[in-house]
Amino acid sequence: MRLQIDSEYDRLEAVLVHRPGSEILRLTHQNMRAFLFEDIPYLRRMQDEHDAFVATMRAEGIQVVYAEDLLLDIVQDESVRASLVRAVVQQAGVPAIGEELASLRHWGPKELVELLYAGLTAEEFYHVHGRRVPPARGRAEFLIDPIPNAYFARDAAVVVRDAAVLCKMHYPQRVRETTLIAAIFEHHPEFRDAAIAYGGTSEPTEDRPYTIEGGDVIILSPEAVLVGDSERTRSATIELLAAKCFKFGRVQRVYELPIPTERSFMHLDTVFNILDRGMVLWHAEVMENLPYVHRYEPDPSFATRAMRVPEPRGIREILADEFGGELTVVETAGGSRHFAAREQRSDGANAFSIAPRTAVCFERNELTIRALEQQGIRCIAIKDSELVRGLGGPRCMTMPLRRGGGES
């Protein structure tokens, strides 16, 4: 699998996703907020919607690979399986059960992969082993928590040029998502030779508190990247990421954009996306009120550092300069303040560009779709009654692996 992402709008060739699974069934009204949900999706309908989304991408000639299938491949290897299980049970605070999980005496490879997403309760472990193991402090029933946000594949990792950035999740409830993706990138034959620009397990200094999530990373061009300074991505991490990208020659400029630390604006890609060279979609309430923009460039004195330089330009001027021409901005809901607020809640700005001027959108964001179509954007509307309940859109659900150049 060759990795190459030089923009957000070149024709998509390969993408990684996770189909929502039994981890969604773990949600209750008592625990859903702890797992960062505000409602409980209907799993079968949610899977139908996700399958239709995948079918849409495949119909456009896009190779879609499932993270769970890649995990199934790597857990066949005893040493990889042992290492992955050890990391998971240590994160969960229950190292005593690691040997039982890794041995496959009671769970086959498929069951183990499902468990890595759906978690494990103390009663389930007792039912299989006849041994009581108390949950770690702070857990009511789970020895290993479920990770119901895993279908938002964007957040765990992102490809910058030809290298992977393995993210560090802000909330502990999501840390295992990156653990699983990191195992894939570091051990699967399809990715084993891929460069890792940030977050590899051999770089513990890049671990918490240096949190960063993939939804905050947007590729402007082969030379420049935007990163959101958000609730979930720290400014210090952006500087560190910039230094690593400069060191390995991936980009030349990194821009830091501060966005409000509110639930409705959790990542930069919830308020801003690129539709084509010189054409963007944004939520005006945030993007037209940025208090500042920081720019990082390579430090000529220290190859391993990033240098923050003064940035007098506003975001419109920066984008126009980076695209090398005029900038066209499409506002969510066509600029209506009232309906933009409504469609922001259902990820109106989180359109997923699969080719120049071709984007996948949630069908409920009707006014945003209308505004896009008026600008000549081909919108592919997908059903979203259950997928939207996790507060993420089409871009959130995808981790692009490779894009090709050229026009659609």
What DSSP assignment string belongs to 225-258? EEEEE-SSS-HHHHHHHHHHHHHTTS-SEEEEEE
Q: Decide if 331 is inside a domain.
A: yes
Task: Give the whole-angstrom CA distance, residue 361 versus residue 378.
Answer: 10
What DSSP letter does each residue of 257-307 carry, written as one string? EE---SGGG-SGGGTEEEEETTEEEE-HHHHTT-S--EEEEE-TT-TT-EE
CA angle 191, 192, 194 (to 5 degrees): 65
- 31: phi then psi, degrees, rounded to nearest 5: -115, -5
The answer on pLDDT for 279 being more than 80 is: yes
Least confident piece of the model among 150-159, 245-254, 308-317: 245-254
Instruction: For residue range 231-278, list pLDDT tens digits in order.
Output: 899 999 999 999 999 988 889 999 999 999 887 788 999 999 999 999
What's the first-to-final CA gap in the chain, in angstroms?
22
- What does the mean pLDDT of the chain come to? 93
Confidence of residue 345 (pLDDT cuts 50, 70, 90): confident
Q: What are the helix and strand counts (H, E) for the chain?
A: 12, 19
- Looking at residue 36, the DSSP 8-state letter turns out to be T
pLDDT attached to residue 408 = 34
Q: Which amino acid is at 324?
A: G
Average pLDDT, stretch 132-159? 90
Confidence of residue 405 (pLDDT cuts 50, 70, 90): low
Beta bridge partners of 137: none
Q: Decide if 383 is inside a domain.
A: yes
Confidence of residue 394 (pLDDT cuts 50, 70, 90): very high
Percent of the chain with pLDDT over 90: 81
Give yes or no for a contact between 318 and 310, defined as CB atoms under 8 angstroms apart. Answer: no
pLDDT attached to residue 352 = 98
pLDDT attached to residue 308 = 93
Cα R_g (the chain), whole angstroms: 21
Average pLDDT, stretch 372-393? 96
The answer on pLDDT for 377 being more than 50 is: yes
- Continuous H helices in 104-217: 109-118, 122-129, 175-187
pLDDT attached to residue 407 = 42
Q: Decide if 338 is inside a domain.
A: yes
Count, residues in the chain: 408
Q: Decide if 372 is inside a domain.
A: yes
Two tokens, residue 407: 């026009």
Task: Give the whole-angstrom CA distance, residue 401 versus residue 399.
Answer: 6
Percentages (nearest 5) of helix, strand, coil residues in the chain: 40, 20, 40
Buried b / exposed e over 138-159, threshold 16 CB at 10 Å, is ebeebbbbbbbbbbbbbbbbbb
Q: Decide if 164 is inside a domain.
A: no
Pseudo-torsion of CA 39, 43, 47, 49, nearest 10°? -50
Supply the CATH number for residue 292's domain. 3.75.10.10
Q: Decide if 263 is inside a domain.
A: yes
Instruction: For residue range 37-90, list pLDDT tens digits in order.
Output: 989 999 999 999 999 999 999 999 999 999 999 999 999 999 999 999 999 999
Q: Decide if 32 is inside a domain.
A: yes
Whether the upstream peptide bond of residue 312 has omega within 30° of 0, thus cis, is no
Question: How many distinct structural domains can be found in the chain?
Answer: 1
- The whole domain housing 341 covers 19-69+216-395
Confidence of residue 401 (pLDDT cuts 50, 70, 90): very high
Nearest Cα residue to 358 out of 295, 408, 308: 408
Task: Give the whole-angstrom CA distance, residue 386 versus residue 407.
Answer: 33
pLDDT attached to residue 303 = 67
The answer on pLDDT for 406 being more than 50 is: no
Beta bridge partners of 142: 121
pLDDT attached to residue 404 = 94
pLDDT attached to residue 208 = 62
Q: Any idea which residues carry the catalytic annotation?
A: 396
Q: Decide if 95 is inside a domain.
A: no
Two tokens, residue 260: 């409000």
* More reliable by pLDDT, 324 or 261: 324
